[in-house]
Chain A
Amino acid sequence: MPNALYLIVAALAASFVLGLLSPKRCGIAYAITLVTLAFMAWVSAGWLWAFVVGGAQPVEILTAGALPPYAINLRMGRAEAAMTLLINLTGLLSALYLKESLFKLGHRGMAVLLVAIMAFCGIVLTRDLFNLFVFFELAAISTAGLILLSEDDRALSAGFKYLIVSQFVSTFLLIGILFAYHATGTLNIDTMATSARLLQVGAQGFTLAFFLMFIALVTELKPFPANGWALDIYESAHPAYSAIFSAAAATASLYAVDKLLLIGGASWYPMASGIGILTFLAANLFALPQSNDRRLLGYSSVAQIGLILVVLGQRDLLGESTSFIAIGLLVSHAVAKAGLYWLSGLVQKRNLIDWAALRGHPFLVFAFITFVAMLTSLPPFPGFYAKWELVRMLAGGGRLALLALILVGALIEAGYLFRWFGYILKREPPTEAVSGEVHKLVPVFVAVLAGWALGYLWGDLSGTGRHNLLLALPLVFAVGFLLLDWLPAWVKNTLAITGMVAFFFLTYTEYDPLRLIFALIFLIGGAITLLASYDAHGRRIGFYPAAMLMVAGMVMLVRAKDSFEFFAAWELLTIGSYFLILRGKHSEPHALSYLLFSLGGAFLILAGFAIAAQGVAPFPISALGQVAPSLAPWVFVLLATGFMTKTAAIGLHIWLPGAHAEAETDVSPMVSGILLKAGLFGLFVLLMTMGKQQLYGIELTHVLLWIAAFTALLGNLMAVFQEDAKRLLAYSSIGQMGYALFGLALMNHLGWLMALMFVINHYIYKSMLFLSVGGVAKRTGTREMYRMGGLIRLMPLSFIAVLIGIIAVSGVPPLSGFGGRWIFYNAILASDYRMPMVIIFLAGPVAFLYLFRLIHSIFLGQLKDELRRVKEAPFWIVLPQMLYVGLLLAFALVPGLVLRRVDSYLNLFFPEGGLHWEGFEITSDYGYWNPVAIMIVVAVIFVSLFAWLLFVNRRAQKVKQFNIVFSAERPYRPETTHFAWNFFAPYRKALGFLVQPYATNFWGTLTDILHTAGDLARRLYDGNGQSYAFHFLVFVVVVFGMGL
């Protein structure tokens, strides 16, 4: 194993050699630089290998052959190896990336780069305080030198501002070090840590000395508000240098602070946490209104480092796990941020919107989303495991305020990063193409690979209660589609369907009856819906990885045994569905709001699980029932709210209409018919385990009843006033989910059975309706119902599907919707809540109003001139609809096939009040229901009425379209005179106050406030170097005041 000192020696020697070279020999100089950096990376990698695989012990390196304090002491241990590897690789890849700039700058520039990387390595390796100071100064000087590499003129002033602040910092650091030395008689960090513990007399002086060192090193982490200089560097420096600055320099500084905290001890932890969390929140808030890509990345860097500082400050609680969490977050940050900065060098212009240029390059888009997922701690990347562990332990230690702040900051960060992703996929690409030089693509490629490899590695690091997600079969299957994306869509579709069906048949014996129903809907139901995707042509890049990711998440959710699996699955299905929704033409804002609500919900779930577990890992889902009574209601509230964001309960519903309506034709049924069930599944699990809970004497399931009742009523009411057919269906889903929630919250046998019936029914008819309406919209080119009309002859199959669908939704006999209602009414009779029941009864007839429009405005009436040549929807879109029709009829005739087993399963929870199944007849305490008899009765009535209608209709005269005249004038907006436009205007007059967008306004105002706050506060950074120095001094004084 080469001595770790070679990391420093090699760089220094190479810099000397570079200095001696003739300026003309740029090629040779560049080769020397690359070889040296590669060598350094190899040394670090060798050590890391020895530590991880070979089980080597940390090595102390003593210069001059003497022991500390007489000699400088460096150490190579596992953490040092990992961090120097990170630094050296970033340096190597950035050097590759910087090729042109380095050639332009010549051999001296390359020498400066080498010195910078060497200095960062030195900061990590050294155990000597003064040596640390020297390396920091070297880093500062070389950083200032490298900033000059930038082609951006403004970098010059940024570099100078940096030097000003670094002068202050080095003064503090130097004086602090010397006084600490004076108090302890040593410069060695470890020895000083020991003697600092023993200091009794004169400790005040030492504390002051430590404070000076601490504040100096923390300033290197760019804490709020002493970080204006850093942001200017991030914005103006060459992106490859910003990559180094963000990844390598931050790594080194963090490790230095960690070493220093060893001396300071636990009494300084709260200070570190405080500075960290303030920085995390402020930087994320300031990032929100940014439009410059590099400055935004700078803010995000500052925020991430702040978060890691929080973790370091929680060492007293996190103990052994500190490094797993901190390094997990650090590598995620470093790899992702370096990757993003490298990407930013490929994009020609600096506005976030200009990144739409990446769109034509699937690999670059994939790279971008990989990096964003790493930054936002999504599975399966290291940050996810780190986040899980951090939240689990913080909640276990009762540090809930900190936990809440971290989650809020993380949500804001996800907001601006995913907003950016939306720009890339949806905005107009600029004329400037993406630069595609190989030496600039290689670093990005390596970063993507590293990200996934690290995800695997972090999953693999043994920990109780965690699993490697990249070994979970469903996820592997989904990720596999990334590699198959070059295949034509129909091949991938076949693969996907086969995979889903096969997985179901391999595993169906493993589920209990309840989970079996969900698994059926997710896998088999998903496969049926995917039949419609055969209609798509070409390769459909990105569709299958996203769809399969969602399916994988749902399957893993049903199979989850403990809270970790459950939460990981939840996040996976959230991201997958986000990508799917984002595919719609106009879905950019809706996909973003979907994602933010879902992530917010996910964070609540995360917090709920963590509080419930109280540090226990693994925490089985079933253990939710044994949570301590003092915590249980809070856990219930967190989890229930989390799940209700997915089922779009009223108030949390505003993402749903846009997301479901703007999605592609075959995506809408997936996200509506199937995905919504994930939320219901969560609620099922929650109520099954926790049951009734009381908070301050309020029965929480009773609260749920009220929410459900209002969701049903208002969802339906909002559906009534829609002109857009898909939006109508989307709002109707909100109402339907309200019914299902109502059934669950009744907390009796029939209520649950009815909720389950809604799960099945809603899957079938909503998938069907979305497909038929989607097919119609595809053929007519509009989703506005009043622009359609008279399509019954042209699209008879779609008509049949819609007709059957609305009969089923409305709950009139003979279809399965009636069965749902019948069980529902029985359930209500069995319970004793009166008021919410009145509301939910009101919701019923409202559903008729909007359902009627689907038939009336789309299929009946006059055919528009421009639609005379419309054909029936494509075969592959009609086929699943017909399957659904069959399913609905079957389920209507013999509901017992499915429900019977669940009915007896529910006896486990509610032994009372089950149904009695005999032949075709179903009996409850209050009456009986025979689906077959009802079907026959209804059929007879229908046939007789229909025959009578045909008989009477013979003499009817058809009204031609031009029979109506508007007093010889052409109306200003013709659609306003159309009968089908604003169809329910009178109702709007009466009930419109109920459907005012209160919730939308509330959430809109909240985001506006955040934006405005960020926009106002960021003016703190006025660009003047002296102001930044002043901020630093204020920071020092405040920390001093709070710390001593």
Chain B
Amino acid sequence: MMIHLAMATGFLLILIGFYGALSNRNLLRMIVAFTIADSGVNLVIVAIGYMPGRTAPILDATVKAGDAAARVIDPVPQALVLTAIVIGVGVTALMLAYAYKLYEKKRSLDIAKFTELRG
């Protein structure tokens, strides 16, 4: 149940993000929308790796290395989501930098103003 809820929320966030990115002409709003979609993706990933009744994939006193395979959830998506978050931050930063420079150039954040290249 939890998994499905988390996954549904994740996909909902992705859709909200996509909708936001397509319906807002403001560069900053678009970037925020993409961040929301990113969070949705991360949520979905974590949900994929989740297994009911198991614990976090951290080996300590309660989880011994020997029986870890049977007791912890799938560690791979957890590891991957970290990477995905880092990459997401990088891309967001780059987009913000772009938005800044675009604003410097035209004093506008409207994406529809930047259509010199076409056809």
Binding site for B on A (CB under 8 A): 69, 130, 134, 137, 140-141, 144-145, 148, 153-154, 156-160, 163-164, 166-168, 170-171, 174-175, 178-179, 181-182, 187, 228, 231-232, 235-236, 1018-1019, 1021-1026, 1029-1030, 1033
Given contacts A164-B21, A175-B44, A1018-B119, contact A130 B105 (CB under 8 A): no
Contact mask for chain B residues 4-41; partner A; CB cutoff 8 A; 1 contact, 0 none:
00000000001000100110010100100010011001
A159 to B90, CA, bound (A): 15
Complex partner residue of B105 from A153, A159, A170, CB under 8 angstroms: A153
Interface residues of B (CB under 8 A from A): 14, 18, 21-22, 25, 27, 30, 34, 37-38, 41, 44-45, 48, 76-77, 80, 83-84, 87, 90-91, 94-95, 98-99, 101-102, 105, 111-112, 114-119
If A174-B45, A181-B77 touch, whether A163 touches B98 (CB-CB below 8 Å) is yes
Given contacts A134-B87, A1029-B22, contact A232 B98 (CB under 8 A): no
Which of chain B's residues have a CB closer than 8 A to the CB of A157?
A: 102, 114-117
Assess whether A144 is in contact with B94, with CB atoms less than 8 Å apart: yes
For the complex, give the distance between the alpha carbons of A164 and B87 in Å: 15
List, in ascending order, chain A residues with CB within 8 A of B114's CB. Answer: 156-157, 160, 1023-1025
Residues of A within 8 A of B118 (CB): 228, 232, 1019, 1021-1023
B119 and A178 form a contact (CB under 8 A): no
Shortest distance in angstroms between B95's beta carbon and chain A's nearest beta carbon? 5
Q: List 14 A-B contacts (CB under 8 A).
A: A140-B91, A148-B101, A154-B116, A157-B102, A160-B95, A163-B98, A167-B95, A170-B87, A171-B38, A174-B41, A178-B44, A1022-B115, A1024-B114, A1025-B114
The answer to whether A232 and B48 have CB atoms under 8 Å apart is no
Judge whether B116 and A1026 touch: CB under 8 Å. no
Residue of chain A at shortest CB distance from B37: A171
Output the least CB separation between A208 and chain B (Å): 12
Q: Which of B27, B87, B111 contacts A137 (CB 8 A)?
A: B87
Known A141-B90, A178-B48: A171·B41 in contact at CB below 8 Å: yes
Closest to B30 in A: A164
Closest A residue, CB atoms, query B14: A171
Neighbouring A residues of B115 by C-beta, 8 Å? 157, 1022-1024
**Contact: B116 with A167, CB < 8 Å?**
no
Contact in complex: A158, B112 (CB < 8 Å): no
Q: Do A1019 and B119 touch (CB < 8 A)? A: yes
Interface of B, secondary structure class, is helix
A289 to chain B, nearest CB (A): 9
Question: Measured between alpha carbons, how far is A291 from B18 in the docked complex, in Å?
Answer: 35
Of the residues A148, A166, A167, contact of B37 by C-beta under 8 Å: A167
A1029-B21 in contact given A130-B80, A1024-B111 (Cβ < 8 Å): yes
Contact A178 B80 (CB under 8 A): yes
Q: How close is A116's CB to chain B, nearest CB, in angstroms? A: 13
A106 to chain B, nearest CB (A): 16
B117 contacts which of A178, A187, A232 (Cβ < 8 Å)? A232
Q: Shortest Cβ distance from B37 into chain A, in angstroms?
A: 6
Complex: A1018 Cα to B119 Cα, angstroms: 5
Find the B residue at minimum CB distance from A140: B91
User: In the complex, A188 Cα to B115 Cα: how many Å?
Assistant: 41
Distance, CA A1019 to CA B22, complexed state (A): 20
In whole angstroms, what is the CA distance A231 to B115 when docked? 13
Docked complex Cα distance between A182 and B45 (Å): 10
* Cβ–Cβ < 8 Å partners of B105 in chain A: 153, 156
Residues of A within 8 A of B14 (CB): 171, 175
Docked Cα-Cα span, A295 to B57, in Å, equals 51
Complex Cα gap A131–B77 (Å): 13
Is the pair B102, A163 in contact by a Cβ cutoff of 8 Å? no
Inter-chain contacts of A168 with B (CB < 8 A): 18
Q: Which of B44, B94, B112 has the most CB of A within 10 A?
A: B94
Contact of A158 among B76, B77, B95, B117 (CB under 8 A): B117
Q: Is the CB of B111 within 8 A of A1026?
A: yes
Q: In the complex the two chains form, what is the Cα distance from A757 to B48 in whole Å?
A: 82
Q: How far is the CA of A159 from the CA of B83 in the complex (A)?
A: 23
Contact A179/B22 with A134-B87, A145-B94 known, Cβ cut-off 8 Å: no
Give A157 to B102 CA distance when docked, in angstroms: 7
Report yes or no: A141 in contact with B91, Cβ–Cβ below 8 A. Answer: yes
Q: State the CA gap A166–B98 with chains docked (Å).
A: 14
- List 9 tightest A-B contacts by C-beta distance, closest first: A1023-B115, A1023-B118, A157-B114, A232-B117, A1018-B119, A137-B87, A160-B98, A154-B116, A167-B34
Q: Are B102 and A178 in contact (CB under 8 A)?
A: no
**B73–chain A nearest beta-carbon distance, Å:** 12
Extra contacts, 11 of them, besides A137-B87, A156-B105, A167-B91 (Cβ < 8 A), are A130-B80, A140-B91, A141-B94, A144-B94, A156-B102, A163-B91, A163-B98, A178-B77, A179-B48, A1023-B117, A1026-B25
Complex-state Cα separation, A140 to B112, whole angstroms: 23
Nearest-neighbor residue (CB-CB) of B45 within chain A: A178
Chain A residues within an 8 Å CB radius of B48: 178-179, 181-182
Bound-state Cα–Cα, A299 to B14, Å: 32
Complex CA gap A154/B115 in Å reads 9
The distance in angstroms between the C-alpha atoms of A164 and B31, with both chains bound, is: 9
Q: How far is the CB of A133 from chain B (nearest CB, A)?
A: 8
Nearest CB on B from A166, distance (A): 8
| Most A C-beta atoms less than 10 A away, residue of B87, B101, B102 | B87
User: B102 contacts A175, CB within 8 Å?
Assistant: no
Interface centre among B22, B98, B116, B119 (most CB of A within 10 A): B119
Q: Report B-chain residues with C-beta under 8 Å of the C-beta of A182.
A: 48
Which A residues are in CB contact (< 8 Å) with B77?
Answer: 178, 181
| Bound CA span A1001–B91, Å | 54
Check B21 against A187 for contact (C-beta < 8 Å): no
A145 vs B21: C-alpha distance when bound (angstroms): 22
Closest residue to B40 on the A side, CB-wise?
A: A171
Provide the bound-state CA to CA distance between A148 and B101, in Å. Answer: 10
CB-CB under 8 A from A236, the residues of chain B are: 117
Q: Which residue of B lies closest to A235 (CB)?
A: B117
Nearest Cβ distance between residue A888 and chain B, in whole angstroms? 58
Nearest residue, chain A, Cβ from B42: A174
For A140, list chain B residues within 8 Å (CB).
91
* Nearest-neighbor residue (CB-CB) of A137 within chain B: B87
Within the assembled complex, what's the spacing in Å between the Cα atoms of A174 and B37?
Answer: 12
Instruction: Give A386 Cβ to nearest chain B Cβ, in Å.
Output: 31
Q: Which residue of A lies closest to B77 (CB)?
A: A178
Q: Which of B18, B95, B112 contacts A1024 (CB 8 A)?
A: B112
Task: Name which residue of chain B comes closest to A233, CB basis.
Answer: B117
| Distance between B68 CB and nearest chain A CB, rounded to angstroms | 13
Chain A residues near B44 (CB-CB < 8 A): 175, 178
Chain A positions within 8 Å of B27 at CB level: 160
Q: Which residue from A137, A159, A179 sits with its C-beta under 8 Å from B98?
A: A159
- Distance (Å) between the CB of B44 and the closest chain A CB? 6
Measured between beta carbons, the chain B residues less than 8 angstroms from A148 are 101
Cβ of B94: which chain A residues have Cβ within 8 Å of it? 141, 144-145, 163
Q: How far is the CA of A228 from the CA of B117 in the complex (A)?
A: 9
Q: A178 to chain B: closest CB distance in Å?
A: 5
The distance from the CB of A114 to the nearest CB of chain B, in whole angstroms, is 16
- Asked whether A1025 lies within 8 Å of B111 as measured between CB atoms, the reply is yes
Residues of B within 8 A of A235 (CB): 117
Contact of A156 with B91 at beta-carbon distance under 8 Å, contacts A174-B41, A1018-B119 already known: no
On whether the beta carbons of B22 and A163 are closer than 8 Å, the reply is: no
CB–CB A130/B112 < 8 A: no
Q: A145-B94, A153-B105, A187-B76 in contact; A174/B21 too (CB < 8 A)?
A: no
Inter-chain contact A154/B117, CB cutoff 8 Å: yes
Minimum Cβ distance to chain B for residue A26 (Å): 22
CB-defined contacts of B102 to chain A, threshold 8 Å = 156-157, 160
CA distance A153 to B101 in the complex (A): 10
**B105 vs chain A, min Cβ distance (A):** 6
User: Is the pair A1023, B116 in contact by a Cβ cutoff of 8 Å?
Assistant: yes
- A141 contacts across to B, CB distance below 8 A: 87, 90-91, 94
Chain B residues with CB below 8 A from A1033, complex form = 18, 22
Give every chain B residue within 8 A of A175 (Cβ-Cβ). 14, 41, 44-45
Closest to B11 in A: A175
